[in-house]
Each structure stands twice: as C-alpha cells, then as structure tokens.
Chains A and B, each alone.
Chain A
Amino acid sequence: SQKIEQNSEALNIQEGKTATLTCNYTNYSPAYLQWYRQDPGRGPVFLLLIRENEKEKRKERLKVTFDTTLKQSLFHITASQPADSATYLCAFLHGSGNTGKLIFGQGTTLQVKP
C-alpha cells in the first residue's frame, strides 16, 4: 500500500542553523508534494507545493526539494528561529483524475533553541 513517512523523532537545533526535514514515500509516484506547518492545538497551515517536474522550490527562508528517483522530499529552513518551532507535515494527492485524496505523513516536530 502507499505510504508517506517522516522522521518521527523530534529535531532539535540551535537558532540560526539550517533545519532539514525528510519525507519519504513508497509504492506511489505523486504528481506533487505539499508541506504544512502545524502548531499545537491548531489545524495545519500550507507552506509550499512542489511538482514532480520541479527539483527545487523556495519561499523566503524555506526550500523544498523533490527527488522522484529517491522518492524523497527534503524541507529546509535556513537561519532558523525559535518561532519556527512547530510540527511540519508533508502530504501528497493520492489518486488520479477527479478522485485524488490528500494524505499526510505523521509529521516531524522541530524545536529551535535560542
């Protein structure tokens, strides 16, 4: 069955460093991946979308890569700040045509220490 996996261990880094989070998927070839941020007690908030024909996408301090050979997406936050502390979720649309559904990984919690 199709799976999307993120590192379940929390990532702890020092302020100013680059955080790198990993999303791996198996038994599927999504047309794109999405990344969301979730703060405790709140719904996820969309950050970035990267399509299969895009190797890299950037938005301010965020960078996402998509390697369809490795079946992996990496999410980078440069010059990290304590305010970046949150859980980050990757997701892809499973299915084709008009019937795709959005499914999520389990998320990775990032803690940025001042």
Chain B
Amino acid sequence: DTGVSQNPRHKITKRGQNVTFRCDPISEHNRLYWYRQTLGQGPEFLTYFQNEAQLEKSRLLSDRFSAERPKGSFSTLEIQRTEQGDSAMYLCASSFYGPLDTEAFFGQGTRLTVV
C-alpha cells in the first residue's frame, strides 16, 4: 500500500460543468476525510466518513457537493454546476480511528480550476 491516492491530480473545467474526484485511502483505515484548501489557508473541513457512513457534512458546503464511500473503501466527491469559487485544492485524508486515535495521512490533492 503506497498511501492515499487521489485522482485526477489536476482538473480544469468550465463553469456549470460537473466534476468528480476519487480518493483511495490506506486500506486498513476506517476514517476518510475531504478538505478544501485555498491559497494561504489551512485545510477546510468538508465531510468525513467512518467506514461507509457519512458522519458529518460541513454547513458551509452547498448542496452542489456530494460525497460517497460505498462499501467503506474508496470515496468520490462530486461537485455539480461548478462555480469559479469552487477553484481550490481538494484534499483527501484517511486515518484509523480507535481508542488511541492516530494521525491522518493525506493524498497529494486534486487541484480544481473552474474557468
């Protein structure tokens, strides 16, 4: 297992189009996070999963955003009707959540540019 993998690494799309990103976490990790990061800011929480259950979705996230983690394995993040303000780096992280919580491992991110 080589770590958290995100695809694609870069995505340029026209405003109004839908985009989907994929995240493959470390296989034994039960927790998966999605974050959005813009220049000069820290990762902003979007949503997270414990196994296949989506436990929380940020209130800042509009209903154009949806995430899934079927069977508790890989996850997808879809943005519908993209807007220029959606341009950012989208980061996925996974961790093993247990009695002694451990660190999160991040993927390289998907950089989205909406033109």
Contacts and interface: CB of A to CB of B under 8 A. Distances in A.
Interface residues of A, number: 24
B104 A101 contact: no
Q: Taking chain A's interface residues, is the majority helix, strand, or loop, or is none over half, making it mixed?
A: strand
Q: How many B residues touch the partner, as a band?
A: 20 to 34
Contact of B33 (A42, A49, A101): A101
A106 B42 contact: yes
A102 B33 CA distance: 8
Nearest to B35: A104
Contact of A32 (B93, B101, B108): B101
Interface string B1-32: 00010000000000000000000000000000
Interface string B100-114: 011111111101000
A104 B109 CA distance: 16
A104 B104 CA distance: 12
A101 B103 contact: no
Of A42, A43, A98, A100, most B-chain CB atoms within 10 Å: A43
Contacts of B55: 99, 101
Interface of A: 6, 8, 32, 34, 41-46, 49, 89, 91, 93, 98-107
24 contacts: A6-B42, A32-B101, A41-B109, A41-B111, A42-B108, A43-B91, A43-B108, A43-B109, A44-B91, A44-B104, A44-B106, A45-B106, A46-B103, A46-B104, A49-B102, A91-B104, A98-B50, A102-B48, A102-B104, A104-B43, A104-B44, A106-B41, A106-B42, A107-B42
